[in-house]
Amino acid sequence: MAPLLSCDSYFKRTAHRLNGKVSGNLLVGRTPVHFANVDLHAYVVGNDGRAYTAISRIPQPAARALMPLTPIGGLFGWLFALEKPGYENGFSITGAEFTHSLEVTFYPGEETVHITQTAEGLGLENYLSLRTHIQGRVPYIPENFTVHIAPYKELYHYSSSAVTSTSHREYSLLFGHHNQTLSYRLHQNVTFRDCPHARARQAVLATQQLSVERVFALYNEDEQVLRYAVTNQIGSAEGDSDTAVVNPCYDGTHVCDTTARCQPGTGLQYSCECTAGYRGDGQDCMDIDECAEGESHCGPFSVCLNSLGSYRCECQHGYRLADDRRTCVLAAPPPDPCAAGRHSCAAAHQARCIPRGGGAFSCECLPGYTGDGHTCSDVNECTQGRCHPAATCHNTPGSFSCQCRPGYDGDGFQCTPANLQRLTPCEHERLYSQPEPGHHIPVCDDQGNYQPLQCHSSTGFCWCVDEAGQEIAGTKTPPGSTPLHCGEPGQPQTMCERWRQSLLDHYGGRPREDHYVPQCDAAGSFSPLQCHGNSGFCWCVDEHGREIHGTRSEPGTAPPCLPSVAPPTVRPSPRPDVSPPAMGTFLLYAQGHQIGYLPLNGTRLQKEAAKTLLALHGSIVVGIDYDCRGKMVYWTDVAGRTVNRASLEPGAEPETVINSGLMSPEGLVVDHLRRVMFWTDSGLDKIERANLDGSQRRALFSTDLVNPRAITVDPIRGNLYWTDWNREAPKIETSTVEGANRRILVNEDIGLPNGLTFDPFSKLLCWADAGTKKLECTFPDGTGRHVIQNNLNYPFSVVSYANHFYHTDWRRDGVIAVNKDTGSLTEEYLPEQRSHLYGITAVYPYCPGGKVCPAYVILMDMLLFLCTKHTYLVSSHCSEEIVTDTSTKGSLGFKLGGRMPDPKT
C-alpha cells in the first residue's frame, strides 16, 4: 500500500481509477434485497470534471430503484470536479482517506435510506479503494420506466475536518406519455483527517458551489450493471460574472486529449501537452512503443513488452529479473538430488531415486522390495506360492529361487514325479489337473488319499466323497453353510452350528472377513475363543457360547481362553464397548458457528427432527468427525485455528485439544481403532496426526501439497486418503496411517475434489468434485473408477451410509442424499438458517469393525429394536441371552443360543 498522505496533490493528479465493494440490505417497496460485496468501479477524467461509476451484479428490482440515487456516483464527481481558479475539489481537501455519510428521504412516501462510503487509501497502482454500505428502504420503480435527472447545483460547507451539504433534488419517471416528477431530501457529511501542512484556506474552507452540468443513470439488464455519469465544476457560491474570463482549462471547453495536460495561458489561451509515454500535439496523443523504438532500458537476455504509456522487461528462460526490474541475471538451476546423492532413498540395491524437477525427488523400492522408497524391506516371495507345490522355495534379498523336492524333476516352477507309479489317484489328479475355470482340484491327506470333505475353491459348495474321490449323493451343501461331518450324513447340527448357519443366511451365504461368525470346533461345540471378524476384538465363551465377563480384549491381544488358564478378572481400559449414544443413526454437519443434528429413519432424512446440536459463536467449523468409542464429536475451527471436541452427553462442554501451530485447519478424520486423529491444514500445506487428546502430535507430510482439504481413513487396513484441490494439478493421494508408502491414486479428470469418504460397506473410496460436478468411486488401489452422479451443484463434503451418500452443497446450502445404486438425488434438507454447510459425518449406534454390509447394519438395528419392543426376546442388553419364540418362528427365523456379537465392536 502506498503512503496515505491525505493532502498531497500528487494523488490528485494520478488517481484516475477507483475500486470498491457494495454491501448491505435494501427494501425495494416490500421486497428485501441483499448486497453481498458486489463490485463497484469508477473512472475519472480529471481535466474536464467527468466521472463514470459502474456497480455490477445488481439484482432486480434493486437496480432500477437505485437509479435516482445519483449521490452514490456523485461523490466521485465532487471529489474530482473541474476546479475554477481559486477553488479546490473534494479530493484536494480530503485526500485518499475519508468517510462519506448520506441520508436520503424520498417523497411522498418518506422512505429513508442510509449510505456510508469509506475511502481506504491508494493502492500500488494509485487506485483509490472504497467500501460502500447501504441500508434502508427505497420506492419501487416499475420495469420499462426510465429515470431523468436534470442538471443541478448544490452548496458544500467546509470546516477543518468535515464537509456538509443539504439539498433537495427532483427526478422524473418516464414511460410513453407518462411523466411523473418525484423528489428526495439529501443530507451529506464528509469527515477526513486534516492535513497539518495545508496552506491557509480561508477562501476555500467556507462555502463552495458544485455545478453538475450533465447527469445520467442507466441500467443494462443483460449485464446487470448500473451506471452513473456526471460532469462537474466547483467554484463560487455566488456564481461567476457573465463577463468573467474563464480559461478553457478550467471550464472543460478545451480540446486536449484525455492523455494530455491542459496548460492555461493568458486570457483564453492554453496549450496541450501529451503526458509521459505518449507522443502528439496534445489534442491527439498516441502511445509510444518504447520497445520498437529502442527507448527501453531492458538489459541482455530480456524481452521488452510494451504497455500503454510505459513498458516492462521480462527475462528469457533460465534467467530472472534483478532488483532494478530491468537487468536479467542467470537463474541457477536447482540441483538434482538424485545425481548429487543428496536424497533420503534407501540403498541403491533396494530403491531408486526419481528426480521430479525443481530440486524435488521421489523414492521407489526396486522389484523384490516393499516400502515407501525411503525404507525398503525384502519381499518374501516364498509366501506368495510362486514355486510348484512339489518344490522348495528359498528366499533371497530382492529375489527367490525354487528347487524341486527329492523324487521330482524340473526347474522348481514345474516339477514332475521321477516315478509316476508312486502317486496315489488323488495326488495324480491334483498334480495333473488342468487349471481351467470352474474345475475342482481335489485335496489329499498326508497319505495321499482323498480328504472325505471336498470344497470347490470358486463356488463355495462342499460335499463328501468316497475312497475313489466320487461324490456321495445328498451331502452337497451350499456356499457359506456348515458342511456335514463326512461319513456321518444326516447328523443333526449343534447349537453353535445352527447359530452359525442362521447368521450366514443373513450374510447372503458369503460372509466377509470382518463379519462375526461363531467359531465351532470339529465336534460342533463353541470354540473357547471367539473373535469379531478381523477387527481384533476377542473374548472367551462358555459351553453355551455366552461371553465370560472380563475376558474381552483390545485389538492385537487375544485373551487366554483355555480351560486350564483362569480368565482375567479386570476389564481392559478403556472398554471398547462403552455405552452407545442415543438409539439410531444420524448425521452431524458443520454450519459456520454451529454443528447441526439430522436424524435418519433408515436412509430417509427426518427433517422435522433436525436441530442445532452445538452453538459455537465466533467459530467457523469446517472438518467434523465422530469417535464411536469415546462418544465424542471432533471438529476443526478455521476462525479460532484450533481442533476441538465435545461429548454428546447432555451438558457437555467443548474442549480444545490443539490450539497452536495451525493456520487453516480444514479436513479431519478419527481412527477409532488406533485412537488417533488426522487433519489437513491448507494454510501451512500440511497433513498432521495426533492422539485424540492432542498428545504425540507430528506432521506426516509437508511437501508436495498446495490446497489439502478432505481426509478419510480405512482403520482396518491402516490406510489414509486425502485430496489436494490445487487448481494447477488436483489429486487424491494415499499412504499408511504412519505416513509410509505415499502415492497418487487419482490425478486425471478431476477439478476441485472437496469431499472424500471411505465406504466401509463396499470398501470403495469415493469423492465429490465441485469442478467436474461428479460423485465418483474407486477401489483403494485406484482401479475400478466409476461415476455415481455427474450433475452435482457445488459439493463440499460427503459421507457414506448404507446405500446412500449424503453431501453438503454450497449452491443449495443444504444436505443432499444420493442413491448409490441409481445415482439419483433422492431428497434434500435445507436448514431454516441459510448459510454454507461444510463438513458432514454419520453417527452409528455402534463402531463398525471394518467392512460392514447393509444387511449387517439392518440385522443389528433389528436386534436392538426387538430387544426394546418384544417381551419374548431378551438380549445381552436386557439379560444374558437372545432367544426367539420357537413356537411361532420369530422375526429372526431361528433360535439363538448364547449372546449375539456386540454391535459396538
813 has pLDDT over 60: yes
Where would I find the beta strands (DSSP E) of 338-492?
351-357, 360-365, 369-371, 376-378, 391-396, 399-404, 408-410, 415-417, 453-455, 462-464
Between 734 and 483, the more confident residue is: 734
812 has pLDDT over 60: yes
Averaged over 148-165, what is the pLDDT? 88
Pairing of strands 764-769, 369-371: unpaired
What Rg do the C-alpha atoms of the chain give, in angstroms? 40
Reported as a single tens digit per residue, the pLDDT across 454-474 is 888 777 788 888 888 887 766
Contact 152, 215 (CB under 8 A): yes
Averaged over 849-854, what is the pLDDT? 43
Averaged over 215-235, what is the pLDDT? 87
Averaged over 231-238, what is the pLDDT? 82
Residues 6+ apart with CB under 8 A from 385: none
- Residue whose C-alpha cell reads 458457528 in the numeric block: 593
Q: Encode 128-154: b = buried (16+ Cβ within 10 Å), e = exposed.
A: bbbbbebebbbbbbeeeeebbbeebeb
CA distance 17 to 125: 9
Averaged over 210-216, what is the pLDDT? 88
872 has pLDDT over 80: no
How would you classify residue 865: left for phi > 0, otherwise alpha for psi between -120 and 50, otherwise beta?
Answer: alpha
Least confident of 355-359, 568-572, 809-813: 568-572
CA distance 149 to 173: 9
In sequence order, the β-bridge partners of residue 98 are: 119, 192
CA distance 237 to 73: 22
Least confident of 431-445, 716-730, 760-774, 786-800: 431-445
731 has pLDDT over 80: yes
Helices in 242-308 by DSSP H: which ranges?
Answer: 248-251
Reported as a single tens digit per residue, the pLDDT across 625-662 is 999 888 899 999 887 789 999 998 777 789 999 989 88
Grid cell for residue 225: 450493471
CA distance 658 to 656: 6
> What H or E segment, with its residue span, contains residue 138?
strand 127-138
Burial class (CB in 10 A: 0-12, 13-18, 19+), 686: buried
Q: What is the pLDDT of residue 23?
A: 93
What are the two backbone dihedrals, phi and then psi, of residue 263, each rounded to the nearest 5 degrees? Answer: -105, 110
CA distance 541 to 547: 4
Grid cell for residue 712: 478419510
882 has pLDDT over 60: no
CA distance 637 to 642: 5
Between 695 and 91, the more confident residue is: 695
Alpha-carbon separation of residue 754 from 556, 597, 687, 775 (angstroms): 35, 22, 16, 11
704 has pLDDT over 60: yes
CA distance 790 to 750: 12
* CA 864 from centre of chain: 36
Q: Encode 453-486: b = buried (16+ Cβ within 10 Å), e = exposed.
A: bbeeeeeeebbbbeeeeeeeeebebebbbbbbbb
Helix (H, G, I), strand (E, B) or coil at 450: strand
Mean pLDDT of the chain: 80
Among 670, 584, 605, 607, which residue's Cα sits nearest to residue 805? 605
Q: Place 623 in a pLDDT band, splitting at 50, 70 and 90.
A: very high
Alpha-carbon separation of residue 794 from 32, 538, 753, 789, 809 (angstroms): 26, 44, 10, 13, 5
**Residue type at 755 in one-letter notation:** G
CA distance 751 to 674: 32
Alpha-carbon separation of residue 392 from 368, 399, 409, 415, 447 (angstroms): 18, 14, 12, 11, 20
Averaged over 838-866, what is the pLDDT? 59
886 has pLDDT over 50: no
Q: Place 255 in a pLDDT band, splitting at 50, 70 and 90.
A: confident
Pairing of strands 270-274, 278-280: unpaired
Alpha-carbon separation of residue 584 from 312, 506, 798 (angstroms): 66, 21, 20
Averaged over 88-115, what is the pLDDT? 90
Beta carbons within 10 angstroms of residue 778's beta carbon = 17
Angle at 594 between CA 592 and CA 598, to 5 degrees: 110
Contact 278, 285 (CB under 8 A): yes
Reported as a single tens digit per residue, the pLDDT across 471-501 is 776 677 777 766 666 755 445 667 776 666 6
306 has pLDDT over 60: yes
Residues 6+ apart with CB under 8 A from 889: none
Grid cell for residue 170: 427532483
Contact 832, 587 (CB under 8 A): no
Residues 6+ apart with CB under 8 A from 332: none
Q: What is the pLDDT of residue 834?
A: 79
Between 467 and 284, the more confident residue is: 284
Between 67 and 900, the more confident residue is: 67
Grid cell for residue 449: 488319499
564 has pLDDT over 60: no
Q: What is the pLDDT of residue 522?
A: 66
CA distance 360 to 859: 52
Where would I find the beta strands (DSSP E) of 221-297?
225-235, 260-264, 270-274, 278-280, 285-287
Averaged over 731-744, what is the pLDDT? 95
784 has pLDDT over 60: yes
Grid cell for residue 430: 491334483
Among 477, 469, 508, 479, which residue's Cα sits nearest to residue 493? 477
Q: What is the pLDDT of residue 326?
A: 86
| Four-residue CA torsion sign, 843, 846, 849, 851 | negative
Q: Place 199 in a pLDDT band, splitting at 50, 70 and 90.
A: very low
Give the count of alpha carbons within 13 A of 232, CB side only.
Answer: 32
Alpha-carbon separation of residue 715 from 675, 706, 721, 764 (angstroms): 10, 26, 11, 13
Pairing of strands 17-28, 127-138: parallel
> What H or E segment, with its residue span, contains residue 33?
strand 31-45
Structural domains in the chain plus CATH codes: 9-243 (2.40.155.10), 245-286 (2.10.25), 337-378 (2.10.25), 586-843 (2.120.10.30)
- pTM for the structure as a whole: 0.37
Reported as a single tens digit per residue, the pLDDT across 360-397 is 899 999 988 999 999 999 999 898 888 888 889 999 99
794 has pLDDT over 50: yes
Give the count of alpha carbons within 13 A of 392, CB side only.
Answer: 6
Among 97, 110, 115, which residue's Cα sits nearest to residue 189? 115
Q: What is the pLDDT of residue 247?
A: 75
Beta carbons within 10 angstroms of residue 611's beta carbon = 9
Q: Place 521 in a pLDDT band, splitting at 50, 70 and 90.
A: confident
